[in-house]
């Protein structure tokens, strides 16, 4: 049982580091903010979103796939949705609520990228209020 768990962790780790995305996937400002807050894993495998609708999500996923040379059959096996909040006027719960709103919206869209995806919600004051960052774990059938 321990060996199975260790193997599963190794597979997840390899799947996470196998795809190296393009540098422009996250703005320089957001990367600088993330460097100031170590609790948020904003990196090159992230997709920042300022608004939510089906077209925005589809275009962001298509751009992400094209920028990272992903195969057509790729799937998102895990997503961490980090919601932003303003520490001066809001609590971290506001960021989590924003992340939950995006997670619910993504689930309702029933997109093929997110079939059987595990979702983790988080919040960060380094992300502007009302916006989210999707940190993705990608796999492929090949």
Please give the average pLDDT of every successive group of 10 residues along the chain, which has 142 residues: 70 54 51 50 67 80 81 83 92 92 88 84 90 85 60
Helix H or strand E segment including 90: none
What pLDDT is stored for residue 64 in this prediction?
81
Q: What does pTM read for this prediction? A: 0.65
Order of strands, sheet of 46-49, starting from the edge strand that comes earlier in the sequence: 46-49, 132-139, 75-84, 118-124
**CA 52 from chain center: how many Å?**
14
What pLDDT is stored for residue 123 in this prediction?
92
How far is the CA of 142 from the CAs of 18, 22, 67, 75, 77, in angstroms?
13, 21, 19, 11, 14
What pLDDT is stored for residue 22 in this prediction?
45
What pLDDT is stored for residue 96 in this prediction?
93
Domain ranges of the chain: 2-139
What pLDDT is stored for residue 39 in this prediction?
43
Radius of gyration, alpha carbons of the chain: 15
């Amino acid at each position: 049982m321990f060996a199975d768990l260790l193997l599963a962790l190794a597979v997840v780790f390899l799947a996470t580091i196998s795809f190296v995305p393009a540098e422009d996937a996250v703005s320089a400002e957001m990367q600088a903010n993330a460097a100031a807050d170590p609790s948020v894993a904003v990196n090159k495998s992230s997709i920042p979103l300022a608004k939510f609708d089906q077209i925005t999500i589809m275009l962001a996923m298509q751009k992400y796939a094209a920028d990272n040379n992903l195969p057509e059959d790729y799937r998102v096996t895990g997503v961490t949705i980090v919601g932003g909040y303003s520490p001066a006027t809001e609590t971290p719960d506001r960021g989590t609520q924003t992340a939950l709103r995006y997670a619910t919206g993504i689930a309702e869209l029933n997109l093929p990228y997110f079939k059987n995806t595990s979702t983790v919600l988080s919040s960060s004051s380094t992300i502007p209020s009302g916006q989210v960052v999707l940190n993705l774990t990608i796999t492929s059938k090949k």
